[in-house]
């Protein structure tokens, strides 16, 4: 089975105040951790970057392509560079440096066992409310029914290509498979696999690297 990975790193990091995936973490850039983890289980690797970085050398990737205005558009740009004979595609956020190679293996195994999509999730520990607005006061959701979704997410390649036809928008790719009626399998994610969104997240990731040892 030919497995390709797409690492999306084309976000502008508006909440961070810059592209967080290029910040230093330990001895590497944030995105280098994502690339190394993805490489462990992929035959090929596509890195999706902001257009102004598309000419930069990234030796860890087999292809570097320019992303789009949204995460979904960036995934599609990456998918266009995945060879047609790839059977499984793993999609990962460059902003998640602490996923670990093992989680890629778990996601890949679930796809090999028949899932259209495999998604790591973790329990939600905060109580979550909907935002008030438009006369709606908002309400509290039942936390027991909620999970938080991470990457890497794994897909049968033909399913990922099919659900991206028509340029849909989603905050992840598994939600597009849900919308298309595909079979999404949940696997256990890791609490340490946080997305670097704010400056605090980078400080936490740095502390975790020190506490647990830099795997690279
Ligand atoms: O901000 P968001 O949660 O969507 O970012 C998740 C990942 O998607 C990040 O690694 C970010 O660089 C990437 N992204 C992208 N292209 C965009 C927006 C986000 O590659 N236009």
Nearest Cα to 152, choosing from 74, 212, 97, 215? 97
* 85-114 tens-digit pLDDT: 999 999 999 999 999 999 999 999 999 999
Q: Is 49 in the pocket of ligand 1 (CB under 6 A)?
A: no
Say whether 92 sits in a helix, a strand or coil: strand
Alpha-carbon gap, residue 14 to 134, rounded angstroms: 26
- 163 Cβ neighbours under 8 A, 6+ residues apart: 173, 176, 177, 179, 180, 182
Among 49, 93, 98, say which to mutate for ligand 1: greatest number of ligand atoms within 8 Å of CB: 93
Distance 70 CA to ligand 1 centre (A): 7
Distance 120 CA to ligand 1 centre (A): 17
pLDDT at residue 13 in the model:
81
pLDDT at residue 16 in the model:
73
- pLDDT tens digits for the chain (216 residues)? 899 999 999 999 887 778 899 999 999 999 999 999 999 999 999 999 999 999 999 999 999 999 999 999 999 999 999 999 999 999 999 999 999 999 999 999 999 999 999 999 999 999 999 999 999 999 999 999 999 999 999 999 999 999 999 999 999 999 999 999 999 999 999 999 999 999 999 999 999 999 887 665
Strand pairing class (117-123; 147-149): antiparallel
Looking at the chain, list the stretches that DSSP marks H as alpha helix, in order from N- to C-terminal side. Answer: 30-39, 71-79, 101-112, 157-164, 174-179, 199-212
Model pTM score: 0.96
Q: Is 14 in the pocket of ligand 1 (CB under 6 A)?
A: no
């Amino acid at each position: 089975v030919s497995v390709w990975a797409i690492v999306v790193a084309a976000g502008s990091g508006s909440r961070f105040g810059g592209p967080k995936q290029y910040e230093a973490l330990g001895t590497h850039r944030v995105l280098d951790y994502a690339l190394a983890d993805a490489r462990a289980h992929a035959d090929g690797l596509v890195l999706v970057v902001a257009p102004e970085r598309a000419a930069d050398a990234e030796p860890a990737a087999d292809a570097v392509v320019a992303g789009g205005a949204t995460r979904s558009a960036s995934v599609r740009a990456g998918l266009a560079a995945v060879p047609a004979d790839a059977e499984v595609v793993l999609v990962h956020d460059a902003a998640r440096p602490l996923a670990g190679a093992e989680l890629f293996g778990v996601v890949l195994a679930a796809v090999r066992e028949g899932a259209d999509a495999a998604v790591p999730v973790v329990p939600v520990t905060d109580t979550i409310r909907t935002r008030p607005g438009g006369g709606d006061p908002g309400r509290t959701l039942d936390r027991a029914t909620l999970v938080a979704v991470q990457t890497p997410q794994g897909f049968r390649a033909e399913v990922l290509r099919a659900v991206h036809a028509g340029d849909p928008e989603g905050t992840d790719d598994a939600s597009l498979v849900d919308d298309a009626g595909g079979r999404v399998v949940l696997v256990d994610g890791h609490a340490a696999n946080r997305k670097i969104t704010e400056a605090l997240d980078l400080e936490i990731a740095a502390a975790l690297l020190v506490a647990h040892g830099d795997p690279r």
